[in-house]
Amino acid sequence: MIIFIFGTTAEAIKVAPIARRLQERHIPYQLWLTMQHTTALRNILPELGLRMPDRLIADGRNGQPLRGFADVAHWLWQILRWLRRNGRGLRQSLPSNTVIVVHGDTLTSVVGALIARRLKVQCAHVEAGLRSGNWRHPFPEELDRRIVGALASIHYTPSEEATNNLAAKRNVVHTEGNTVIDAVLDQGDDAGSNGEKFGVVLLHRFEFISNQPLVEETVSILAATSPYPLKLIVDAYSEHAVKEAALSHGKGRLTPQPKLSHQEFVGLMKGAEFIVTDSGGIQAETALLGVPTLIHRKTTEQGEGLGANIVLSEWKSERLSAFLKNFGSYRRPIQRPEHSPSDIVVNDLVARGFATSDAPRQSSPF
């Protein structure tokens, strides 16, 4: 039995290509959700071809997304209560060939790996082995990755560097790239531009939005230097800090707009002149698409696109300014991979005996 545990929209986007390939091969699986993101995650599931969850482990905090430490503590308590109520029954009912699949570097990734340990089943980690080398950046993601790396029994690594980072471990499988590549390519080759020239800004990591002077400095440089209007994507986490800074320091150059569906956002990226972001997922997507991109972080755990169409700012204002003046020189053609990362994951799960035709379906709690 194959069980996916995830709780954010980014995880859903990167898990969906694996799930779709299982569906195409008529291999059953289950979705267990923690709902770190609530409404946004519910909305994106049908768009990605995913059903509502088979099990709801938690539902944010009272149905609202997690925004602070108090929310996280309440959410973790919900998960602990769920595991106490259901752990023994699940241990007895789950087939012996069960694997819990987690993705990336979220709190849910850690929770899923711990649930697998408690239920005495294997844990497979997709996008394993990424390391920035500095536990403070990105925080808490770097710590999350290391914890999951210690708990997981199967590691699906997206790059040679990530594979080398796990050289001492067993069951390491190089997937030849990030599954988000399939999430983009599965949407086809429709052009994203209607002739409008614009830049895209998405900055939402905790370490960035919690540093208000950096937020204001970044917005000021974007407004003063960008030759084109900027579409500022905001979500439930970044809305207050980034949107407020855009209104105060953006000189009318940044237009806040709500988070888009993944298909709409991919179209927006394809049509953008450049992108400024702190998202690792977007780094993988733009490395594929060849769109000039500045990763506005101190460090990145991913090497995709660096030295080609992607620049790492290290939070240095001069690098941000230089990129905005010279982004055109970073444009590259699309970099299509030879292999599908999601196909590699599915083939390996099947080869390990986790595919089964008798996985019981739970009724959806929605």
Residues 131 and 215 in one domain: no
Residues 173 and 319 in one domain: no
Residues 277 and 164 in one domain: no
- The answer to whether residue 287 sits within a structural domain is yes
Residues 7 and 124 in one domain: yes
Residues 141 and 227 in one domain: no
Please tell me the number of Cα atoms within 13 Å of 321 on its side-chain side.
7
Residues 345 and 317 in one domain: no
Residues 167 and 203 in one domain: no
| Structural domains counted in the chain | 2
- The answer to whether residue 173 sits within a structural domain is yes
Residues 45 and 85 in one domain: yes
d(CA 114, CA 10): 20
- The answer to whether residue 110 sits within a structural domain is yes
Residues 325 and 344 in one domain: no
Confidence of residue 38 (pLDDT cuts 50, 70, 90): confident
Q: Residue 227: which residues within 8 A CB-CB, separation 6 or more?
A: 324
Residues 87 and 111 in one domain: yes
Confidence of residue 218 (pLDDT cuts 50, 70, 90): very high
pLDDT at 183 (0 to 100)? 92
Alpha-carbon distances of 289 from 302, 327, 332, 336, rounded to whole Å: 16, 15, 8, 8
pLDDT digits (tens, 9 = 90+) for 52-78: 999 999 998 888 888 788 999 999 999
- CATH number of 140's domain: 3.40.50.2000
pLDDT digits (tens, 9 = 90+) for 110-119: 999 999 999 9
- The answer to whether residue 184 sits within a structural domain is no
Return the higher-pLDDT residue of 287 and 194.
287
Residues 25 and 147 in one domain: yes
Confidence of residue 255 (pLDDT cuts 50, 70, 90): confident
- The answer to whether residue 192 sits within a structural domain is no
- The answer to whether residue 244 sits within a structural domain is yes
- The answer to whether residue 358 sits within a structural domain is no
Domain that holds residue 32: 2-177+340-351
Q: In what side-by-side order are the strands of the sheet with 230-234?
A: 254-258, 230-234, 199-202, 274-277, 293-295, 310-312
pTM value surpassing 0.75 = yes
d(CA 266, CA 271): 9
d(CA 338, CA 98): 30
Output DSSP code: residue 170.
S
- The answer to whether residue 101 sits within a structural domain is yes
Residues 207 and 248 in one domain: yes
